[in-house]
Structure 1
Amino acid sequence: MIRDYLFDINKIIEGAASGDHEKVLAYSESLARRLESGGELAAAKRMRQIVGKSSASNISLARQGGQALLPVDGESRIPVADEERPVEADVSVFLSEDVQKVVDQFLLYFRAADRLIANGVGISPSLLIYGPPGVGKTQLARYIAAQLKYPLITARSDALISSYLGSTAKNIRQLFEHAASRPCVLFLDEFDALAKMRDDDRELGELKRVVISLMQNIDAMGRDHVLLAATNHPHLLDPAVWRRFAYKIEMSTPGLAARQELIRFVLGRFATAQDVEVAACLSEGMSGAQLKDITENLVREAVVNDQQSVNLVEMCARFTGTSDVAAILRAIRKVDKKRFTQKKLSELFGLSQSYISERLNQEPASA
């Protein structure tokens, strides 16, 4: 439907009206990609042909290999951000129901930006993601970019923050200006490095000025560009920075349903439904990154050893940290005695119920 393309069309018109050839080029390519994804291949090809015939001298955006060059730190000449183009098929996230609802609403509102603005309500596509390491904050940013079919511009704190007076604020401004020049998702990872509370007496005046510069750039970015930020330390953020994000998501270690979904996704044909159930129960408190690391290693080992499935005992050993069968059985029973009866454990591990009973009643080895 035409309304699916209105955002890019309006941006192309804005660029043409203001003589901003960079914007015309960037959003024309964005529209071409959207047309392709909608099956309109001929229209996408025709659009690229039209743009290609434009005078090269009118396109001032610095480019290399067809991709816009990212701004660099004035002293080190290191790019202040990295760029990638996440593909929807390659990005999977396993979110709680509440978090998924917020993400879905965020995407829905951004896609309907033109209709919302036309009705006088507008949008503010800014999202702050916070939580401990390994819970999937960066992966969520990649997921949002993939869903919108936008490149993901991830700020590099090591290059963005300069030791030279005034350079950090300049780097921030250049990064925001670059993000505003084309369709993209700007992702400020390790956000607390830039947005610390200004009443922190241990911070220098220059760093406090950086926070002010950051907020000014967020305000100037407008309501038609996507801004994401992530931090492991939300308590360090300046309260005024918090207020500038319309959406906020707290991510924590995945619940049982999310763990099952992630484990099933990674193990795939190498595990039965019962294997997944056991692994999900034993992995309580683990982050998504930990789960992914363990399950991917199990698959690797199965593949290189020409095994058709993961070994249940070995899998349990990875999640419990012990290869002792009696300790594994007790760990599983501790999770849910009603679910994991002695009969079920016997079926799962191919052991006699008497053996199971004996091991469950066995005193744990002293440390």
Structure 2
Amino acid sequence: MYVAVKGGERAIEASWRLLDKSRRGDTRLAELSVAQIREQLRLAVARVMTEGSVYDEELAALAIKQAAGDLVEAIFLLRAYRTTLPRFGYTQAIDTEAMEVERRISATFKDVPGGQLLGATYDYTQRLLDFALLAEGDAETDAAATPASIQAAQCEVEAMPRVVTLLDKEGLIEQERPAPDAPEPGDLSREPLAFPASRATRLQNLARGDEGFLLAMGYATQRGYAHTHPFAGEIRFGTIAVEMELDELGEAVEIGDIDVTECQMINQFAGSGEVPPTFTQGYGLAFGHSERKAMAMALVDRALRAEELGETLASPTQDIEFMLSHSDNVEASGFVQHLKLPHYVDFQSELELVRRLRAQHGAEGQDQNQGKSQDHDQQEQAA
């Protein structure tokens, strides 16, 4: 428990004013608008929405602006706002196979039903600074400036079955179909994390988890700390309809569209007991265009299934409690940054303890030196 420090209200208010001034920057330059952030920093917006657990591009952009680009702070702001929103109900589970795909690739098969769609990605660019972006003014942004071929491609919508269905036809991969008597998944945004945690809870936690943490842990699984060999079965990004069942109508109605990124990792599995060797899956899903997050999530998800699949638990990446308890950047940031709060009383007690121990140490050392000196004198007298 921390006791509020009184007398510092004026200093805190001055700090707020300095923060506003620092965030605004040079007033001779045009202020960055929320609309600009939403449209031009879309990858940052996607991360804030995913880890903030709110799909609202405008609010995510506002949080980024308010946080001066600190995405972890922006995520904190969005989550805090989320707690003030009323809960109307739950939508139906989205069917990602019905996604209007903008980008879809597979590293397991060259030719897949529906084809490979490269879409907009940095994967095939050279990591060189583009100094042309320093030039004043922007390129034309109206529809006339977009090549007709790209406009036509954006209008085409084609159903694309999952890549894993190719393996499923031969029975070579597990299919994750919910059991008829499976309990409804909990809501981690309203219920505290508890152990043992179901896979549904784990996936919720990973979706809200810090991208950097998941990336590092996903990287660790590839370096041998989970004993799995992953293949990117499919990564797809696009738009999907969200439906909600209304009691007044007695049926589900479409309430909007959202952009999501989905990743299915395919992993080797040697089998156990009566289960023959097969492929298993790791799964990742994130708001917006968030491929790195979805891939890292899928890698960690598969690692956390070790006990379920009868594999040896040999690394932290397979430890459910460790991973889930330390993946949340809001909690981690708060716990680390609370060290900036006053700890005067705690430190004074530690200071007094160290002083007392040093005094005791010095007294004991002096007694030992005196004892050694007396022994030396006795030895000389005996000689």
Instruction: Give the number of the structure whose alpha-carbon radius of gyration is greater.
Output: 2
Q: Which structure has more strand as a fraction of its residues?
A: 2
Q: Which has the larger helix fraction?
A: 1
TM-score, length-scaled by structure 2? 0.25
